[in-house]
Amino acid sequence: MLQRTSGLMSNPGEPTTICVTGLRGFPNVMGGIESHCEELLPRIKAIWPEHRSVVLGRAPYLPERESEYKGVEIVGVPCPRSKHLEAIVSTFMAVLAAWWRGAAVIHIHAIGPGLMAPLAYLLGMQVVVTHHGTDYNRAKWGRVARAALRAGEWLALTFAHRIIAVSPSLAAQLRENFPKRAKDISYIPNGAPLLPDGADPELVLERLGISEPFLLAVGRLVPEKGLHDLIAAFERSDYEAQLVIVGGADHQSEYARELMARAGDRVIFAGVQSRATLKCLYERCELFVMPSHHEGLPIAALEAGSCGARMLLSDIAANRDIGLDPHNYFPVGDVDALARRLDEDYEDLAVNAELMRSRFSWDQAACDTIKVYQAALNMRAPSAATSQPAEALD
């Protein structure tokens, strides 16, 4: 008869198992949480090789049911590919799978999947939740979905042993709203990575039909990214070159169809691109623009900054948390103001790439996350977690 293993106590020789869910999977799966985990988890594995790291992703988005990426096991959990159901169904299945695998810790990403924090708690696992942003403020959700997301936030903050917030403004908000949990909330930001080389810039531009100079935006084709504002401002401005938008839609939507209907010689929808291609575009664009109405701590902006792109961002709290000069921001949703900024000189919108990478370090985020895991387990953190960079990933 099969018996559930215990990654915590049954065999001292067994590695501690940490299961991660709430994401579709990686590598090369579109999404901020997916990029976050693709950067973070292999670094944690490199710093703390003694543990077993298992991502319980969503099977419809993964090419194989089981695979491995830089020491991290990737397992596809069956679920529908559905805007409203896939997150909750996949997380429910993942919590059961994590328990069956004997996980000592289950790390749940985002507050929608946070609805399953009580189940993981009741099954005896140590629960860590990373709060990536107040998703109930996203324009794409209706009343019922927003209520569910608020419930997910409350359940996560109530039942998780430790909570991670990816931006300082979010961490402050959570400590104010959940004062009894304040000591259990850690601020660990996303990082600004060195994106990989490997794509020839001239071939990339030719393949995508891009001519220089060009403006660049990167994001999913959903209302909260504000790409409709950017296109409207671009059309009102006197800017005569191209606007390139990289990203796709999670699911078919009327918004995405209406947005892509505005494509033409000057507005190019480039679809989802590899990280090497993104590096070329960040480095060659005249200006990177992020007009978002809602973000966590935007990885696309951190990537652009790490490549030294000139940057113009909406002035929402999550974007201001990056700490750029006030001149790098414009009033969110103000199409006329954005159009005026597109007509101005961009030289003073440059950012310091080295400073960006030093302030937002994935290696430091990995070390800090290990400390959160060890606090949840009430174990002594391995000495490597405070001293060694993830050199194995270089």
Count Cβ atoms below 10 Å from residue 327 Cβ, excluding itself. Answer: 11
Does residue 365 or residue 249 have the better pLDDT? 365
| pLDDT range class, residue 140, cuts 50, 70, 90 | low
Q: Which whole number is the average pLDDT over 143-162?
A: 92
**Separation in Å, CA 306 to CA 30, 163, 191, 192, 362:** 19, 27, 9, 6, 12
Q: In the predicted model, is pLDDT for residue 4 greater than 50?
A: no
Q: Which whole number is the average pLDDT over 278-304?
A: 94
pLDDT for residue 393: 41
pLDDT for residue 263: 86
pLDDT for residue 331: 98
Structure tokens at 75: 């397992």
Q: In the predicted model, is pLDDT for residue 64 greater than 50?
A: yes
Q: What is the pLDDT of residues 374-383, one digit of tens each?
A: 999 984 344 4
Q: Which whole number is the average pLDDT over 317-324?
A: 94
Q: What is the pLDDT of residues 188-205, one digit of tens each?
A: 999 998 888 878 889 999
Q: Helices then strands (H, E): number in the chain?
A: 14, 14
Among 120-124, 128-132, 135-139, 211-215, which stretch is predicted with the lowest mean pLDDT? 135-139
Q: Averaging pLDDT over each range in 105-109, 140-144, 357-361, which range is the top one?
A: 105-109
pLDDT for residue 284: 95
- Residue in the block written with tokens 């896939």: 86
Distance CA 121, CA 30 (A): 29
Q: What is the pLDDT of residues 10-35, one digit of tens each?
A: 345 578 999 999 999 999 888 889 99
pLDDT for residue 14: 74
Among 198-202, 267-271, 294-298, 345-349, which stretch is predicted with the lowest mean pLDDT? 198-202
Q: In the predicted model, is pLDDT for residue 257 greater than 80?
A: yes
CA-angle at 374, arms to 371 and 380, nearest 5°: 100
Distance CA 293, CA 318 (A): 10
Q: Which whole number is the average pLDDT over 159-182?
A: 96
Structure tokens at 140: 């794409």
| pLDDT range class, residue 262, cuts 50, 70, 90 | confident
| pLDDT range class, residue 250, cuts 50, 70, 90 | low
| pLDDT range class, residue 156, cuts 50, 70, 90 | very high
Mean pLDDT (the chain, rounded):
89
Q: Which whole number is the average pLDDT over 23-52?
A: 93
**Separation in Å, CA 209 to CA 90, 217, 246, 264, 307:** 38, 16, 13, 11, 22
Q: Which whole number is the average pLDDT over 27-53?
A: 93
| pLDDT range class, residue 385, cuts 50, 70, 90 | very low
| Residue (of 154, 138, 177, 133) closest to 318 by Cα position | 133
Among 64-68, 195-199, 351-355, 368-372, which stretch is predicted with the lowest mean pLDDT? 195-199
Q: In the predicted model, is pLDDT for residue 238 greater than 80?
A: yes
pLDDT for residue 251: 64
Percent with pLDDT over 70 in the chain:
91
Q: In the predicted model, is pLDDT for residue 302 greater than 90?
A: yes
Q: Which whole number is the average pLDDT over 352-357?
A: 92
Q: Hey, which bits of the chain come out as E strands? A: 17-21, 52-58, 66-69, 72-77, 105-109, 126-131, 162-165, 185-187, 214-218, 242-246, 267-271, 287-290, 311-314, 329-330
pLDDT for residue 144: 85
Q: In the predicted model, is pLDDT for residue 278 greater than 90?
A: yes
Q: In the predicted model, is pLDDT for residue 384 greater than 50?
A: no
